Amino acid sequence: MRDINQIIVHCSATPPSMIVGADDIRKWHITRGWSDIGYHYVIRRNGVTEAGRDIEKAGAHAKGHNEDSIGICLIGGIDEVGKPDDNYTLLQYNELLRLINFLKITFPIKLLKGHRDLPGVTKACPCFDVDAWYKFETQLTF
């Protein structure tokens, strides 16, 4: 098993009207020449978590951070005209919190970040401050 010590949250950069899941993203990533979906988990708009890439394999979701991280993708993240938008459902936020807490019990997680918070990233993904949200929801710190 690889050493996992961080969680990185992403978005699918799809509007609320576009209903997609892990299988759709897997097809997009394989079409780009990747071996599989880049994320380990995908949280659909209805709050259902779908498995992505095998957790034992490094992801392909955050350059320079794939070897020791778990990638979680929230479906959504842009509005109907393609602008960044924190448009996730309450079901998604509840499931994200549950999944992060589960992963913290399972792995020695030391860092929780949104993709946008990594050095050199110029994307808005996932369109909210993951660390601040988690601290507010749990009153815990990393």
Catalytic residue of the set 11, 73, 125, 127: 125
Q: What is the Cα–Cα distance from 125 to 128, expressed in whole angstroms?
A: 8
Tokens 């448009």 sit at which residue? 87
Catalytic residue of the set 10, 29, 40, 61: 10
Q: What is the Cα–Cα distance from 43 to 96, expressed in whole angstroms?
A: 7
Q: What is the Cα–Cα distance from 44 to 106, expressed in whole angstroms?
A: 22
SS3 104: helix
Concerning whether 123 is annotated as a catalytic residue, the answer is yes
Concerning whether 73 is annotated as a catalytic residue, the answer is no
Concerning whether 104 is annotated as a catalytic residue, the answer is no
Tokens at 58, concatenated: 């490094």
Catalytic residue of the set 29, 39, 88, 113: 39
Is the distance from CB of 77 to CB of 14 less than 8 angstroms? Answer: yes
Catalytic residue of the set 61, 115, 127, 134: 115
Catalytic annotation, residues? 10, 39, 115, 123, 125
